[in-house]
Amino acid sequence: MKINIQIERLVLDGINLAHYERPLVQAAFESELTRLVAANGLNRELSAGGALPSMAAATVQMANKNNSERFGHQIAQAVYKGMGQ
């Protein structure tokens, strides 16, 4: 089964990332979300081709401001939970 997830815009309120950190956080986010979906799948609505016009995810607390990879993983986990898993 092929799953295509398109996130048009991801808004991180109150987060000030340095320009060089953005691609690191993005790559970590994408890899963690891919891992979560591969391991656990999607809820029935989304598996059937559903769409969410918008979604609020859980609050993420930065465990370490200097760890872009960990922060990207935390964001992906919050988004995945918000998708109904």
Tens-binned pLDDT, residue by residue, of the chain (85 aa):
778 888 888 888 888 888 999 999 999 999 999 999 999 988 877 877 777 788 888 888 776 667 889 999 999 999 999 887 5
The predicted structure's pLDDT at residue 57:
82
The predicted structure's pLDDT at residue 65:
63
What b/e readout covers 33-56, taking b as 16+ CB neighbours within 10 angstroms? beebbeeeebeeebeeeeeeeeee
- Which residue, 61, 84, 81, 66, is CA-closest to 25? 66
pTM: 0.84
